[in-house]
Amino acid sequence: MKHLHTLLGVALCSSLLATLPVIPLSKAAALALEENTDALKSASPRVKRTVEQTIEYFRLTAYSISAQKTHVTLQNKEVDSSLSSVPTTISLAFSDKDDSLTQLTAAWSKSPKDQPPNLEAARSTAADFVELVLGEKFASAERGTLWSSSKLAIFPVYPVVNGIPVQKSVGEVFVDSSGHVSSYQLRDADFKENNLPSKAGILSWEQAIPRWASQLQLELTYDDEHGRYAYTALPYSAIDAKTGKALEASADFTDTHIPIEQQSTKQSITTPAAAKEVATTFFGLKSDQLSSSASRESHPNELPISIYTVENDKQTLEMRVNEQTSELLSIQLNSNRADDASAALVDLSEARGQALAFMKRYIPLASGDYILRAYPQSSENATNPTKARMELYASTNGVRSTKPLAVITMDLHGNVLTSATARTYAPSFAATPGVLSLEEAKQNWVKALSAELAYVYPSDLDPEKDSPVLAYVPSFSAADRYVNALTGEVDSWK
């Protein structure tokens, strides 16, 4: 089963909702299906096959079926229906136009774990569901996203045309934190297969490798959390399979090297009044009509957290502080801040100064060298950046920290912060050990990489382009892997 790893786009026409392959039912499931034949006697062959494959995927052996027009419900009748590996009820909805599956919802007897799903395990679950229930005309995305509010992982579903995935999402599979498929949703679509370019004249992957490798940039970094030196990659993109040209990546940034002297004026947020000062000075909340409060969060075997909340009738700012050390953990503006047209739009240089002023005041930073990496972001139809993301890294003996010490997001209208997170950092003051050369690390990265052909849409990065491109899509992104600078092994961030 082929998978993808980029989240892009939306669309598909009903012609791609192809006939599903027949998957043999287990003996117990087949007997149960015979007992429920009457419930599906008026259903189309396609609906029947989808129901059969759903039964097989969820491993139902004793169940009842109720069908009504475009809806089918499977009720688990196992003696021990509390088994966590089998859902209690599965509801399916079908299109009244072509009998394609438009929605599936599975109810489980046990609630999902109160934690985010494991994305790697969830990816495998989503891929199996798409392959077994939706069929070979669809592919599950290699990379998903976490929907933290519901403890779900979401994986887009892509159509497959002539064996090539099309990176236009036509649906989504939701996997809960227990590793179960909780639902599937088909999206409305308007996709034209004849707009896809042909495979004629494409480069082989062997021919494309040198061109792809030419865009690869690695940095030597120090991972203080695991005490290891690693080469990490800057974001890279797919390669046009016909021209060998790299499709534009969307990760432009600028680095500013900043020396910081020993701090003497660091402030802590330990009272509602101090929290209110942060809100008005850096987050753009007006001082009038602001209320502030304090609360506490404590769990067994975890450090207690002081929470300070500042709010008005439109916005709420929540600050989380380590109660024992008074170190800032995070600040989040919980309501979206609409662009204030009356507020001046500052450039990235001014925003960088504001972010640095906040960091120096509220984040404990040892004296030394730092790198402030700024990512400008533009709103739709804007010619200049309207938002920015700032990441602060330590630089010891010329080696950057792998993870940022602080991350700040900003609205350039008014030069205000919208969020901030910080972490403690344990630098290594020992001399940098003998490590692989940059060229050796690059060769190892390229050797570990594979790619698959896919139709991609540059318009997701550049609105001026709207034609699909046949491209070689790398099997993993820059953020997924690193090269161990001592052993040369390419590994995932686990």
* pLDDT value of position 336: 53
Cα 477 to Cα 493: distance, rounded to the nearest angstrom: 12
* pLDDT value of position 61: 84
Q: Which residue has the tokens 């006939």?
A: 19
Cα 240 to Cα 106: distance, rounded to the nearest angstrom: 40
Q: Which residue has the tokens 């995932």?
A: 492
DSSP conformational letter for 374: E
Phi (first) and psi of residue 380, to 5 degrees: -60, 135
Asked whether 437 and 415 are in contact (CB, 8 A), the reply is: no
Q: Which amino acid is at 137?
A: K
Short-list 151, 353, 371, CA closest to 258? 371
Q: Which amino acid is at 229?
A: Y
- 242's tokens: 């016909």
* pLDDT value of position 306: 94
* Residue environment code for 114-135, b if the CB has 16+ CB neighbours within 10 A, otherwise e: eeebbeeebbebbbebbbbbbb
| Torsion on CA atoms 270, 271, 272, 274, rounded to nearest 10 | -70
| Torsion on CA atoms 270, 275, 277, 283, rounded to nearest 10 | 140
Cα 271 to Cα 252: distance, rounded to the nearest angstrom: 38
* pLDDT value of position 11: 34
Asked whether 152 and 182 are in contact (CB, 8 A), the reply is: yes
Cα 472 to Cα 455: distance, rounded to the nearest angstrom: 9
Asked whether 320 and 305 are in contact (CB, 8 A), the reply is: yes
- SS3 state at 439: helix
DSSP per residue over 445-469, as a string?
A: HHHH--EEEEEE-GGGT-TT--S-E
In this structure, how many other beta carbons lie within 10 angstroms of the beta carbon of residue 265? 6
- 440's tokens: 């050796």
* Residue environment code for 253-264, b if the CB has 16+ CB neighbours within 10 A, otherwise e: eeeeebebeeee
Give the relative orientation of helices 438-448 and 205-213 as an angle to the nearest 10 degrees.
150
DSSP conformational letter for 25: P
- 289's tokens: 């009509």
* pLDDT value of position 246: 85
Break the chain into its structural domains and give their ranges. 14-194, 205-218+231-244+435-492, 258-422
Going residue by residue through the chain (494 aa), what tens digit of pLDDT does each one get?
433 333 333 333 334 333 444 445 555 555 556 666 677 888 899 999 999 999 999 988 888 898 888 999 999 887 555 556 789 999 999 998 889 999 999 999 877 777 778 888 898 999 999 999 999 889 888 778 887 566 889 999 999 998 899 988 899 999 998 899 999 999 876 667 888 888 899 999 889 888 888 888 999 999 999 999 999 998 888 889 998 888 876 567 899 999 988 765 678 899 999 999 999 999 999 888 899 999 999 888 888 999 999 998 888 999 999 999 999 999 999 765 555 556 788 999 999 999 999 999 999 888 899 999 999 987 666 678 889 999 999 998 889 999 999 999 999 999 999 999 999 888 777 778 889 999 999 999 999 988 889 998 876 545 455 688 999 988 888 888 999 999 999 998 86
* pLDDT value of position 203: 93
* pLDDT value of position 236: 84
* Residue environment code for 74-108, b if the CB has 16+ CB neighbours within 10 A, otherwise e: bbbeeeeeeeeebbbebbbbbbeeebbbbbbbbeb
How many Å from the N-terminal Cα to the C-terminal Cα in the chain? 24
Asked whether 212 and 467 are in contact (CB, 8 A), the reply is: no
Q: Which amino acid is at 21?
A: P
Phi (first) and psi of residue 184, to 5 degrees: -140, 140
Cα 401 to Cα 76: distance, rounded to the nearest angstrom: 52
CA-CA-CA-CA torsion sign (31, 35, 39, 45):
positive
DSSP conformational letter for 486: T
Cα 331 to Cα 329: distance, rounded to the nearest angstrom: 7
Cα 181 to Cα 123: distance, rounded to the nearest angstrom: 11
DSSP conformational letter for 369: E
Phi (first) and psi of residue 384, to 5 degrees: -115, 155
DSSP per residue over 399-412, as a string?
A: EEESS-SEEEEEET
- SS3 state at 126: helix
Instruction: Indicate the pairing of strand 63-68 with strand 164-165.
Output: unpaired
Cα 436 to Cα 490: distance, rounded to the nearest angstrom: 12
For the chain, the helix, strand and coil percentages under 3-state DSSP, each to the nearest 5: 20, 35, 45
